[in-house]
Copies of this chain bind each other. A is one copy, B any other.
Amino acid sequence: MLNSVFAKRTALLKSELRKQGLDSFLVTKDVNVSYLTGFNGHDAAAVITMGRSFLFVDSRYVEEAKDCVKGFDIRLVKRSLYENITEAIEDNRLKKIGFESAELPYEVAERLKGLIKKSFFVPVRGLVEDLRSVKDLDEIRLIRNSIHLAKDVLARVRPFIKPGITEEFIARKIDIDFIENGAKSAFDPIVAADANSSKPHATPTKRKVGKNSVVMIDMGGILQRYNSDITRIFTVGSIKPRMAKIYDVVRTAQAMAIEAVRPGERIAQIDATARRYIRSKGLGKYFGHALGHGVGLEIHEKPTVSGLNEGVLRPGMVFTVEPAVYIPKLGGIRVEDMVLVTDKGCEILSA
């Protein structure tokens, strides 16, 4: 990605900091450091100020950081990151430093507060995550590529879904296909046949696909750091009438929810649209989780598409829509697509 992308993100962050009355921000979450700086190693931290900004990396990564990061002063962590952070705060006379309170461990925060006597250390929740919830054009392109690959992988795996094949075998096929294509699974694929699928996050087992089976596959990849996440139902032979009916209910609920996606709509409303329909069919108690979640650098990120989210949809948001019905002993049906909020409505990225 161009350096201007990172400069733009940092500028947006600074503007948020100003609104919140902060003169600087300590970034400690790996994926947020990566989003702001382009550095993809571990255990780094960044301090963003209104003037210079700093990236602290340890000796394993210092060469790499110097090669790939622009617009940040790269500093080697020698004894402890605490030292580097306090030094940057003192040298730059920072007074109100925000930190990622939903991420930074209690103990680290307390220690920093103890070290930084002359400044305020202010808990801030989800600031970079909020920026990240609205994707820029580079990110949308990368997410499209990631979804494209996931669909290709699934198309190549499909012929193997036949009687006698184990869930495990199919899951491994998926893992290997991603790797052969320069990516990797974003999470352990869920491949669940028949009754196994009543566990929303079933682990693939040696259970075999039968002559008449319903197989749920939830999979996704990380390609060039961006995630994809889709769930599909495959049938082998004939399907029980009750499962067929549930499938129709879930598909309709998904279509209704996606239809409701547009800029300015309340996020809770999207969840409610699907949930209300599933409830109207007497299946409400079998749909326990939220309708969806944002996807980007993390497989689960903002926005969480649930009844508890008080926010509204904004153009550039990318998230899953995955209504489901899980009936213990019988099985589960979940259908999951990724959508992009456009200026006027919604695009199904995984159609």
CB distance from A81 to the nearest CB of B (A): 13
CA gap between A328 and B66 in the complex, in Å: 13
Contact with B along A289-301 (1 / 0, CB 8 A): 1000000000000
Contact with B along A33-50 (1 / 0, CB 8 A): 000000011100000000
What total of chain A residues lie within 8 Å of the partner, measured CB to CB? 39
A154-174 CB contacts (< 8 Å) to partner B? 168, 172
In the complex, chain B residues whose CB is within 8 Å of the CB of A60: 199-201, 288-289
Known: A175-B184, A176-B180, A179-B176. A288 touches B59 (CB 8 A): yes
In the complex, chain B residues whose CB is within 8 Å of the CB of A123: 106-107, 110
In the complex, chain B residues whose CB is within 8 Å of the CB of A288: 58-60
Say yes or no: is A102 at the interface (Cβ < 8 Å to chain B). yes
CA gap between A200 and B42 in the complex, in Å: 12
Residue of B nearest to A41 (CB): B201
Q: How many copies does the complex hold?
A: 2
CB distance from A198 to the nearest CB of B (A): 7
CB distance from A309 to the nearest CB of B (A): 14
Say yes or no: is A63 at the interface (Cβ < 8 Å to chain B). yes
A168-222 CB contacts (< 8 Å) to partner B? 168, 172, 175-176, 179-180, 182, 184, 198-203
Asked whether B61 lies within 8 Å of A199 as measured between CB atoms, the reply is: yes
Residue of B nearest to A184 (CB): B175
Task: For A176, give its contact among B63, B107, B110, B176 (CB under 8 Å).
Answer: B176
CA gap between A108 and B103 in the complex, in Å: 9
Asked whether A289 lies within 8 Å of B328 as measured between CB atoms, the reply is: no
Asked whether B107 lies within 8 Å of A105 as measured between CB atoms, the reply is: no
Say yes or no: is A101 at the interface (Cβ < 8 Å to chain B). yes
Task: For A105, give its contact among B40, B105, B110, B180 (CB under 8 Å).
Answer: B105
CB distance from A36 to the nearest CB of B (A): 19
CA gap between A59 and B203 in the complex, in Å: 15
CA gap between A99 and B106 in the complex, in Å: 10
CA gap between A184 and B40 in the complex, in Å: 21
A96-129 CB contacts (< 8 Å) to partner B? 99, 101-110, 123, 125
In the complex, chain B residues whose CB is within 8 Å of the CB of A102: 105-108
Asked whether A61 lies within 8 Å of B106 as measured between CB atoms, the reply is: no
Q: Could you write out 7 A-B pairs with CB less than 8 Å apart?
A: A42-B201, A63-B199, A101-B106, A110-B123, A176-B179, A176-B180, A179-B179
